[in-house]
Structures are given as C-alpha cells and as structure tokens.
Amino acid sequence: MKKIKRLLVMVALGAVSSVFAAPSAQERPEWAGWFAKAPAVGTMVVLDARAPKEQLWVHNPQRAAQRFSPASTFKIPHALFALEAGAIKDEFEVIPWDGVHRGNRAWDKDQDLRSSMRNSTVWVYERFAKQLGLKQETAFMEKIGYGNALSTGAEPFWVEGDLAISAFEKLDFLQQLYRNHLPFKLEHQRLVKDLMINEAGADWILRVKTGWSGTIGWWAGWVEWPTGPVFFVMNIDTPNRLGDLAKRQGITRQVLRSIQALPAVP
C-alpha cells in the first residue's frame, strides 16, 4: 500500500510526540475478543496484500499509532546495519562469546547471525552498537525513517533508551524489507529475511521477530503465500512480565487463522 500511503501524517518533527495520525484502516472489533480472552491490552495491525486487493485492518488504531520501545524487534534493522557497515560479513561468521554468564544458556556461547536472531541474543547487538557507534546507528535509522530514530538514553537504546516506533511505522518498515526497497544491499536484505524464518508449510512461510522491553511485548513479521504476503504487527502490555509473553503469539495466531493467513490447527 505504498508505504501505507506514506503511513502517517507526522506532527512537528522537532517535537517528541508519541502519537501520530493513523492511516485509513478498517477496524476489526471482533479481534477485541481474543485480546480480552488472553487477557491483554494492546493493538494489532494487519496488511493483507494477497490478490486481488490489499486490505488494511486494525484493532485499537489509537494505540497502533503510538510509539513504544521496539525492544528486540530492532534486531531486524540492526542486523542490516551491521552487515552494511561491515561489522559482520555474513551468517557464517562466528561472534565469540565473552565468557560472561547472562542467565540464558542459549546466550552463553559463541553466536552467529542466525543464532543471535533466533535466540534474541542481546549481547551480540550491543557489540554491533559499539562497533557502529551511536552516530552511525542514528544515521542508518534516519535513512530508513525508523520511528523517532533516537539512539539516546539508557543502554541498550532500543530497549531501555529513547528509541520508539509505532505499530503502523513498523508495518511500513516490514513492507519495505519484504520488497527489497530499503537503501541497503540486496544481498543483505535477502539474508535478514532468511534469518527471520520461524515456520513454514508446503505453500507458506512465516517470518517474524519477537520483542520485549519488560513492559511492552511485540510480535511482528509476515506470512508469504503464493497470492502475496500478509504483514502483521502486534504489541501488548506485559504487567505479568514473563507470564504475559506467550500471549503475543497466541493472539496473533488466532487473528491470522481467522483471515486464513495461517493454516488452521490440525
């Protein structure tokens, strides 16, 4: 939908505002039932780009236009930045573990791009941030219009700091990546999309990334079908912290199955 019709009408660029005017989208009030049943407070935006025409749907449009910390969903553009800057050359390069135990067995060993995306290994991307420097990180984010493009505040800036992005903006970013329209090398965009593969069937592929800031949980990506992709971005509040994280996938999968964007459970 052409960057979702440039996605948002932005308010004053110099002002730090967290809410933007949402693009034209059809509300899906029936989706509220899955959020209520979970229970969870949040939003979900879906762009069904399958033939014959695109359809943009949303639950809670006001929240979908509100910016939150992207948390580990930022690993998608961050991997692109690292590849583009030469901080890592490909998915086979080994990223040596520093020997620091971080309370996660999957993190406490050498990594590569694929494992760091699958395990959401924070220390790998903290190392990339140090190699790139905040000035270059900001320049890359501004280049692709990623949220408020701020690398300031507490570290890591994409979890604890000032970086923030809305569900609508994230949906726009995912479309650009899917279509290889980002201002990065084609091979880098293709590689990052390969790293995002989560599940697949005979005629569909789910590419997705989780995110959790401690208070906000994300699940964002798309499902590829022969007739076209279905993009989705959801976020929820997580007052019960780890106890709420499974709700991200649970709600999203129910919504996607309801529009035949994922196969029904056998």
Q: Tens of pLDDT along the chain (266 residues)?
A: 544 444 433 332 333 334 444 558 999 999 999 999 999 999 999 999 999 999 999 999 999 999 999 999 999 999 999 999 999 999 999 999 999 999 999 999 999 999 999 999 999 999 999 999 999 999 999 999 999 999 999 999 999 999 999 999 999 999 999 999 999 999 999 999 999 999 999 999 999 999 999 999 999 999 999 999 999 999 999 999 999 999 999 999 999 999 999 999 86
| Phi, psi (rounded to 5 degrees) for 63 | -70, -35
Q: Which CATH number fits domain 26-239: 3.40.710.10, 3.40.50.720, 3.30.70.3040, 3.40.30.10?
A: 3.40.710.10
Indicate the pTM of the whole model.
0.91
Q: Do residues 113 and 91 touch, judged by C-beta distance below 8 A?
A: yes
Q: Which two tokens stand for residue 207?
A: 């590419």
- Among 69, 72, 115, 213, which one carries the catalytic annotation? 72
Q: Is 72 assigned a catalytic role?
A: yes
* DSSP classification of residue 29: G
Look at the chain and count its residues: 266
Delimit the domains of the chain by residue range.
26-239
